[in-house]
Structure 1
Amino acid sequence: MSNPTDPLEEVRQMRLAQLRACALQQAQNIRQLHEQADKLAAAPGPDGNADTPPDRKETMTDIVNVTLDARGLFCPEPVMMLHNQIRDMQIGEVVEVLATDPSTKRDFLKFCNFLDQELLSSDEQDGVLRFLIRKASEAG
């Protein structure tokens, strides 16, 4: 058990709170950018037609409710951030996690299997791993 007056524990808790606040802010920024892009795509172009057809298919990015940016962080921080985020989500919501630590491939798969969550996709582009995880249960 940790001592509540332990300075190292206080630093850890402050860092965790900072990471959560940063992740939430980044998710809000990304959501705003997506909304702006959708508005621009739907706006009439020079020919008077919208750039996006009305029957546009939903993409994986469209279903993301929250984005966690864990780039530059190493185990166990990305999994801890994901665990805290999943706990705050509703069943059916999707979190996008961006990471650079190669161990997150294994860690997130095990996390989803152990806590009955759904790993929708994982891919890598330019050294950045991208995971889409749907909260499928209240486990965890």
Structure 2
Amino acid sequence: MAANKKVSSAEAPEKEQASPILIQMGIFAAILFVSSLISPLFPASFPVPTPVVGLILLYVLLATHIVKLRNVEKFGDFLISLIAFLFVPSGIQLAASLKVLQAEGVKIIIVVIIATIVMLVVIAYTTAGFIWIRKHVFHGNTDIDQ
């Protein structure tokens, strides 16, 4: 019966406060600024867009716990909620290019399907590789809840 006893709210660990939204915006702005300095350093034969460098920097900062998730979560959720709005110009451009789609539509669809399958397979094997490395090299727990 003692195992069924609920933990009172006084004994429950307190959740840490999220950072103010201006601080979160500042963190994203700083990461984007640093990534805009790093992006031109790549050779012209292998250009890496600034947002991709920024995503990698943010991942590294979160993975190393330099930046806590609570410091960027609210603003990140806000940006994700805007993602559909950001694709509106692409949809308008697609509608303007209907003649191209009419002539090459089947080829484009086949390429998109093949690229999606290849991407999913590569991501699956990469994730499995990282899990194997964490398990066998770092002897870490691969459970999500730690």
Give the structure-1-normalised TM-score.
0.27
Larger of the two Rg values belongs to structure: 2
Give the structure-2-normalised TM-score.
0.27
Greater fraction of residues in strand: 1
